[in-house]
Structure 1
């Protein structure tokens, strides 16, 4: 129970900002590491290339006498080789004479100059450590022809990695400083974009607050496509709820007003005891009709895009089977024509009320046959009920409450009135006409919610 309020406290903006920060951090870290490694590899390769150039310099200045002894000059084009402890050191190992030449720069030091482990004609680039220092080392082995013999030489050049490390460290500080600054700017830009992008939701929330306070009646603003569906749905719910409340208030008002007359008749009948039983029976029946009609209006679901789809064929079949039992003594033939997969967004109770009243009214007037059908057209859901009775003579008054075509036919005169109210609540159309069976036809068209 305690976790839900905590989770609900996070705003969409905070979640998106946190998610963006985490993604940006991961991206920046990955990109920074990749760039740093690429730069380090590039700088290292450049250092190795310079060291290899120094090896070529040694190779060009090296000489061997007739006995195969190594002879090196005192000075080189690379001045650091002549400066003691300059950080650049060179050595040549003569495998024939077992002698090692070291550059003057190695005076007082023992840099890790190779004497073996290098294949002839092959370069060996490596990072070595000695005396608490790290060195970038390049070695190359050759065979020098002296007369009839080949003298193996191993030329090595090493450089203190301090300069390399400083260059890498300087680049790393600059790189992470720029990436950090770019990350902060991107987060600020993201925050501004989120405020701009989520502003319509804030306006929707403000409008809902004004609706709750009664300052306005619906969401009136113009919103982006992603939110317009939400605002349209909220407006539909608001209108539907207000229509439902209006129907209920109207039904209660009509109920109170309609019951005044039967109650007055009963009050007057108390003064005439002989007429009281008949008056009570008549007026109670009338009040029952009034209550049924007004309750039917009050509980009408009305058009709703959020109503679950209802399969029309099973409802039509249940009404048909029920009425076949009720009017078994008339031996009526009830037929129902409806596609098996036809469904419609409508309250199931409303659909039962419409079909039940229409088919019940048709059965009261039919001589032999009642036919009901349902189909979907471009206009919407079309319901038709036909009978082979006398048909309608006054299509306007028959839709009014307590009006019957023939007083000899049992009924309360409220069925078609209830259907008319239900169809109106669904913004539909009800038409009375003469049908193909020779009697009356009631056609109802319910548009999409």
Structure 2
């Protein structure tokens, strides 16, 4: 756009410069003709004007040639006019309205002519005679010259602009190709088709691509170290807890059993919390439908003594951009909580494709529900609304921690079916 505007402005400037130059050249030609006519003019002793039959400029001797000359006396009295003006009504104007050595379009409101005029006092034997010499030229030749120039100028500049724009577009396409390749490889990484940027890039962006690969490698290595460390910690803690449970048998104090259960609860909660990966811009999208089906099948076996019908809305294209373990933990806790409290039915709806800005999970049940004033309380670790219901009270707090790690929101609402409605919204 800038190039097109620049070339158009250049064309306008060149056209105006050429027009000024053409006008100046016309001015010089007309005054040259005017001086030639003055040189050919004679005034006899009686004050009469004498002009040669043929003038040096052929166009002045050709009727209707477009170049005309005239000599006038004061008050517009025509003393002589060139043969080229025969049969024509040339515009007249009082000599008092003209300025000496003036070059202009003349007269206004009529057919315009280029005019050169000169007022002099002619000294002769008969005395001083005031004369006005005028040379006029029709503008047709000038306009034709300008038209030819405009066509040539705009034609060549237009062709040059087109070629320059093509060259510029080609340079941009070629120059930005590595960036488009990077974008394509990043999309491949996001979709799980490759693990890093693999192409050989120009030195201008090689530092960028190397840093991206280093970041990816560091992130994966750090996640692996965390998982290994957590696995080692879990193994090292479970063994002492199992030993404590086995000590004392039936004679062990209930207080010890309670403290062991509390320790196990704390260990499980902290391990799950620490293993949450959190949001990653380059995470491989996870297909939600197969994972949800596996969880539902598992929970139906766990709660086989409880008849619960599940109504689900799972789009086949629904994908979650994050860690698969986090999604399984999040969805598993929500469904497990609903299964515990549901009467006969659970509703599950998951929305959000790979290119959507939000990923939403909605789980409803027809159980007793959660009062609005208790909604925030149940998100705290270890809090259960009903102590008779099995569990450690870490399900919803775990959900809250995962959602917080992904910079999302969790809302506990009242379901239209009578129970609780939990809505989780995560940015993709």
Cα pair 1:247 1:298 within 8 Å, conserved:
no
Instruction: Tell me which residue corresponds to 2:5.
Output: 26
1:93 offset after TM fit, Å?
Answer: 1.1
Q: Distance in 2 between matches of 1:99 and 1:29?
A: 48
Instruction: Tell me which residue corresponds to 1:166.
Output: 144
SS of the residue aligned with 2:134?
strand
- After superposition, the C-alpha distances for 1:63-82 in whole angstroms (9 at most, x for unaligned) are 11223222212111111111
Q: Distance in 2 between matches of 1:139 and 1:239?
A: 88
- After superposition, the C-alpha distances for 1:279-320 in whole angstroms (9 at most, x for unaligned) are 75896798689679967975899xxxxxxxxxxxxxxxxxxx
Q: Distance in 2 between matches of 1:213 and 1:99?
A: 94
Instruction: Tell me which residue corresponds to 1:185.
Output: 163
Alignment partner of 1:238 out of 191, 216, 220: 216
1:138 offset after TM fit, Å?
Answer: 0.7
- After superposition, the C-alpha distances for 1:362-388 in whole angstroms (9 at most, x for unaligned) are xxxxxxxxxxxxxxxxxxxxxxxxxxx
1:62 offset after TM fit, Å?
Answer: 0.6
Cα pair 1:81 1:90 within 8 Å, conserved:
yes
Matches within 5 A, 1:211-222: 211-222=189-200
Query: Is 1:106 aligned with 2:85?
Result: yes
**Structure 1 unaligned residues grouped into runs of 5+:** 1-21, 302-449
Alpha-carbon distance change, 114 to 129 in structure 1, aligned in 2, over 3 angstroms: closer
Cα pair 2:71 2:134 within 8 Å, conserved:
yes
Query: Is 1:126 aligned with 2:104?
Result: yes
Alignment partner of 2:247 out of 266, 269, 273: 269
1:95 offset after TM fit, Å?
Answer: 3.1
Instruction: Tell me which residue corresponds to 2:70.
Output: 91
Query: Is 1:58 aligned with 2:31?
Result: no
Instruction: Tell me which residue corresponds to 1:402.
Output: none
Q: Distance in 1 between matches of 2:198 and 2:24?
A: 67
- After superposition, the C-alpha distances for 1:402-445 in whole angstroms (9 at most, x for unaligned) are xxxxxxxxxxxxxxxxxxxxxxxxxxxxxxxxxxxxxxxxxxxx
Matches within 5 A, 1:218-297: 218-224=196-202, 227-228=205-206, 230-269=208-247, 272-275=249-252
Instruction: Tell me which residue corresponds to 2:180.
Output: 202
- After superposition, the C-alpha distances for 1:328-358 in whole angstroms (9 at most, x for unaligned) are xxxxxxxxxxxxxxxxxxxxxxxxxxxxxxx
Q: Distance in 2 between matches of 1:80 and 1:172?
A: 27
Cα pair 1:251 1:298 within 8 Å, conserved:
no
Alpha-carbon distance change, 244 to 93 in structure 1, aligned in 2, over 3 angstroms: same
SS of the residue aligned with 2:195?
coil
Q: Distance in 2 between matches of 1:64 and 1:299?
A: 115
Cα pair 2:47 2:126 within 8 Å, conserved:
no
1:247 offset after TM fit, Å?
Answer: 3.9
Q: Distance in 1 between matches of 2:30 and 2:235?
A: 109
Q: Distance in 1 between matches of 2:126 and 2:93?
A: 26
Instruction: Tell me which residue corresponds to 1:142.
Output: 120
Q: TM-score, normalised by structure 2?
A: 0.56
CA RMSD in angstroms comes to: 3.4
Cα pair 1:32 1:179 within 8 Å, conserved:
yes
Q: Distance in 1 between matches of 2:246 and 2:49?
A: 146
Q: TM-score, normalised by structure 1?
A: 0.54
- After superposition, the C-alpha distances for 1:37-61 in whole angstroms (9 at most, x for unaligned) are 1111111211221111111111011
1:202 offset after TM fit, Å?
Answer: 1.3
Q: Distance in 2 between matches of 1:237 and 1:291?
A: 30
1:128 offset after TM fit, Å?
Answer: 2.0
Cα pair 2:76 2:94 within 8 Å, conserved:
no
Of 64-73 and 150-159, the range deviating more from structure 2: 64-73
Q: Distance in 1 between matches of 2:15 and 2:104?
A: 20
- After superposition, the C-alpha distances for 1:138-157 in whole angstroms (9 at most, x for unaligned) are 11121111247321111001
Give the count of matched residue pairs. 278
Of 290-299 and 202-211, the range deviating more from structure 2: 290-299
Alignment partner of 1:72 out of 35, 48, 51: 51
Instruction: Tell me which residue corresponds to 1:151.
Output: 129
Q: Distance in 2 between matches of 1:269 and 1:149?
A: 150
Cα pair 2:67 2:138 within 8 Å, conserved:
yes
SS of the residue aligned with 1:151?
strand
1:166 offset after TM fit, Å?
Answer: 0.5
Q: Distance in 2 between matches of 1:261 and 1:220?
A: 45
Cα pair 1:112 1:158 within 8 Å, conserved:
no
**Structure 2 unaligned residues grouped into runs of 5+:** 279-428
1:32 offset after TM fit, Å?
Answer: 0.7
Q: Distance in 1 between matches of 2:72 and 2:228?
A: 112
Instruction: Tell me which residue corresponds to 1:116.
Output: 95
Of 45-54 and 261-270, the range deviating more from structure 2: 261-270
